[in-house]
Amino acid sequence: MKHKFGVKIMPREVILDTQGRAVEQTLKLNHLDVEMCRVGKYVELEIEGTADDARLKAEMIAKKVLHNPLIETYEVKGL
Amino acid sequence: MKHKFGVKIMPREVILDTQGRAVEQTLKLNHLDVEMCRVGKYVELEIEGTADDARLKAEMIAKKVLHNPLIETYEVKGL
């Protein structure tokens, strides 16, 4: 059976998020001020196997391949 | 009061997602085959105001500034 997962990868709080700052400034110029803006990535995966195996694989992919632990945090969710 | 929203922006189904294909191939080379992989963006916004105003503003920002309707779809969620 196929299982779908969403992996959200965001820059760590302590990291200066240049993309987020750029979006924030663009919004300000357009009179759409926000208190905070951070930009990350979102990866959707579809994995074949049992529910447990698929989740383990998704977690491993997110941990080992998709995110850079020095500057990013990740979160895996079933979809 | 401050309200936090997450905006998920994904390439449309009909669009060839080159980033997703690259990730898929990298996973395959590492014996971590997946059925499908698509890569999008995730933007976290914090907006000041009443709950309704903040949501409207988040929706407008996502619609008008953050996504390109030709090639992307978006989804706004309260966090």
Residues B75-79, mean pLDDT to the nearest whole number: 95
Average pLDDT for A34-54? 96
Percent helix, strand and coil across chain A, each to the nearest 5 = 35, 40, 25
Residues 4-33 of B with CB under 8 A from A: 6, 8-10, 20, 23, 26-27, 30, 32
Please list, in sequence order, all residues whose beta carbon lies within 8 angstroms of the beta carbon of residue B59, skipping any fewer than 6 positions away. Answer: B76
DSSP E strand boundaries for chain B: 2-11, 36-48, 72-78
Q: Give the mean model confidence (pLDDT) for residues B9-27.
A: 95
Predicted local confidence at residue B7, as pLDDT: 97
pLDDT at B37: 96
Whole-angstrom CA distances from B13 to A7, A56, B16, B28, B70 are 18, 26, 8, 21, 12
Using pLDDT thresholds of 50, 70 and 90, give the confidence band for residue B57: very high
Q: What is the mean pLDDT of residues A17-41?
A: 95
pLDDT at A25: 95
> A72 to chain B: which residues are within 8 Å by CB?
none
Angle in degrees, CA B53, B58, B61, rounded to 5: 125
Q: How many CB atoms lie within 10 A of CB B6?
A: 20
CB of B46 within 8 Å of a chain A CB? The answer is: yes
First to last CA, chain B: 14
pTM: 0.91
Q: Do B27 and A2 touch (CB under 8 A)?
A: no
**pLDDT grade, residue A12 (50/70/90)?**
very high
Domains of chain A: 2-78 (3.30.1280.10)
Tokens 């760590």 belong to residue: A12
Q: For position B71, what pLDDT does the model report? A: 96
Question: How many contacts does A have with B, using Cβ atoms within 8 A?
Answer: 90
User: What mean pLDDT, rounded, does chain A reach?
Assistant: 95
DSSP single-letter state for residue B31: T
The pLDDT, as a whole number, for residue B25 is: 95
Chain A contact for B1, CB < 8 A?
no
